[in-house]
């Protein structure tokens, strides 16, 4: 064999080795590509699962909130009934409370007020204590400032309309008068 034939044979060997390695390289690249795609799909699946859990949790919270606060509109409407009962009782003079003709009516109005309070309590509706408390803009609405020597500035000294909470939410703020220095 001459040199030329040797070179030709060596070139042939290199070509055949490269050709044999090329499918291995191509197969290796393909496996790497498939592994990359698999990892991307895994990540998408994890994100989808997390989103599903978040949506489920959010829906459960919304459902619990809807159940807990379903009576809010009705409760607001009933507050005017409570206010009217309280006003009616406040206008009855003491001598009529003792009069036998009116005693039954006054007792009935008082019993209705107590029953309404009991219904409010069973449904998580509570009156906001205001008198003597510092003004809390999240629970009270200041209507007037009242000059006072006894009370500290910012303290509630008069309640014009009672405020109510339903569980931990404000149903209606208390309308109040707040002390200020004379």
3-class SS letters over 121-135: HHCCEEECCCCCCEC
Nearest Cα neighbor of 127 from 92, 89, 83, 96 is: 83
Residue that has been written with the tokens 């998580």 in this structure: 124
What are the extents of the domains in the chain? Answer: 1-68, 71-123, 125-182
Nearest Cα neighbor of 120 from 48, 172, 157 is: 172
SS3 content of the chain, % helix, strand, coil (to 5): 65, 20, 20
Q: Give strand ranges (E) for the chain.
A: 125-127, 140-147, 156-161, 164-166, 169-172, 174-180
The top-level CATH class assigned to 125-182 is mainly beta
pLDDT in tens, the chain (182 residues): 566 676 667 667 666 665 555 556 677 788 889 899 999 999 999 999 999 999 999 999 989 888 877 888 888 999 999 999 999 899 988 888 888 888 888 889 899 999 999 999 998 999 999 999 999 999 999 999 999 888 888 899 999 999 999 988 999 999 999 998 87
Global pTM exceeds 0.75: no
């Amino acid at each position: 064999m001459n040199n030329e034939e040797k070179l030709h044979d060596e070139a042939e060997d290199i070509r055949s080795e490269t050709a044999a390695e090329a499918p291995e390289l191509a197969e290796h690249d393909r496996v790497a590509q498939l592994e990359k795609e698999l990892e991307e799909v895994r990540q998408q699946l994890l994100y989808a699962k997390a989103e599903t859990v978040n949506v489920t949790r959010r829906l459960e919270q919304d459902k619990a909130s809807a159940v807990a606060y379903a009576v809010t509109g009705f409760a607001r409407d009933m507050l005017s009934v409570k206010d009217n009962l309280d006003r009616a009782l406040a206008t009855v003079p003491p001598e009529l409370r003792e009069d036998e003709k009116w005693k039954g009516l006054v007792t009935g109005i008082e019993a209705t007020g107590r029953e309404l309070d009991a219904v409010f309590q069973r449904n998580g509706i509570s009156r906001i204590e205001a008198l003597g408390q510092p003004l809390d803009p999240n629970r009270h609405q200041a209507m007037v400032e009242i000059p006072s020597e006894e009370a500290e500035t910012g303290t509630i000294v008069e309640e014009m309309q009672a405020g109510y909470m339903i569980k931990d939410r404000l149903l209606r703020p208390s309308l109040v008068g707040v002390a200020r220095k004379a």
